[in-house]
Amino acid sequence: MILPKPLNKLRNKSNVRIIFTDIDDTITTDGKLPANSYQALWQLHNRGYIIIPITGRPAGWCEMIARFWPVHGVIGENGGFYFRLHKNKMQREFFYSEATRKKNQKKLEKVKKEILKKYPKAQIASDQFSRLLDLAVDICEDVKPHLKKKEVKDIVSIFEKHGAIAKVSSIHINGWFGKYDKLTMCKKYVKNELKLNFDKNLETFLFSGDSPNDEPMFQAFPNSVGVANIKEFIMDLKHPPKFITEKEGADGFVEITKVLLA
C-alpha cells in the first residue's frame, strides 16, 4: 500500500475544475456544517468550480442539498441516485426502477430484523425514514456506546450473507442491494450532466473523502484527497487517497479549498 502524500504535493491543481466531495466528517465536524467549510463551498462556486457532493446520506437530505447549497447536483445513498436542480426543475436519476427499489426494500427489512435480533443495542440511523434505497445502521452518530470494530465487521457480514453490499462510513454502516457505488453513479453523472468523458478528463476532477466507503473514489481519482481523520481507517484500505490534509473534517476541506484557490 502506498501511503498518501501531503496535500502540498498536489500537482497540476490549476487543471482542477470539478470537485466531488463526501459530506460527513469531510466538510462537517462533529456532526455540524461549520461556517468555514460552508463558506469554502461558496468561495469555490463563486470562482467557477463545479461541486458535486457524493454522500451516504438519504434522499430527503439530498433534495435539500441540491436545492439550497451552491452545488451542481448531489449523489446520494452511496450512488443509488443523483438529484440536480436545473432550470428550476428537480431532476432525479435512479440506478434502479421504482419496482426494483421496492423489492430491495423488502429484502432489507429481513436484514434489519436479523441485525437487531443479534445486536439489540444497535440502532437504525435516525435519518432512515428519509431513505429510498438502503439501510443505515448507526455505529457512532447517536448510538452510545459506539459499536466496536468487531461488531461493525459482524454487521457487515450479515448484510453480505444476504447478498447485499455493505460499506462503512465514519458514522454508519450502509447496506443495499445492487451493483452500484459512489463511483458508478459519479461516472453516470459526468456523462449525463457534465457531458464529459470520465476517463479523458481525470485531471480536471478532485475528490475529497474520509472513510472506507470512499475507497472506490480514492482508487479512481489521481487527485483524491483524504482529510486527516482518514488515518483512523488507512490500514483497512487497499486503495487509500493519493493525498492527505493536515487537518481533520471541515478544517481539512478548507485546507483543500485554500490550496485550489491560491
Q: Within its chain, how far is the Cα of 204 from the centroid? A: 19
| Predicted TM-score (pTM) of this structure | 0.96
Q: What crossing angle do the helices spanning 35-46 and 249-261 adopt, rounded to 10°?
A: 30
Residue tagged 462510513 (cell numbers): 169
Q: What is the pLDDT along the chain (262 residues), one digit of tens a residue?
A: 788 999 999 988 999 999 999 999 999 999 999 999 999 999 999 999 999 999 999 999 999 999 999 999 999 999 999 999 999 999 999 999 999 999 999 999 999 999 999 999 899 999 999 999 999 999 999 999 999 999 999 999 999 999 999 999 999 999 999 999 999 999 999 999 999 999 999 999 999 999 999 999 999 999 999 999 999 999 989 999 999 999 999 999 999 999 999 9
Instruction: Confirm if 73 and 20 have CB atoms less than 8 A apart.
Output: no
Domains and CATH numbers, the chain: 12-95+180-261 (3.40.50.1000), 98-176 (3.90.1070.10)
- The C-alpha cell of 184 is what? 458508478
d(C-alpha 105, C-alpha 127), whole Å: 15
d(C-alpha 251, C-alpha 100), whole Å: 40
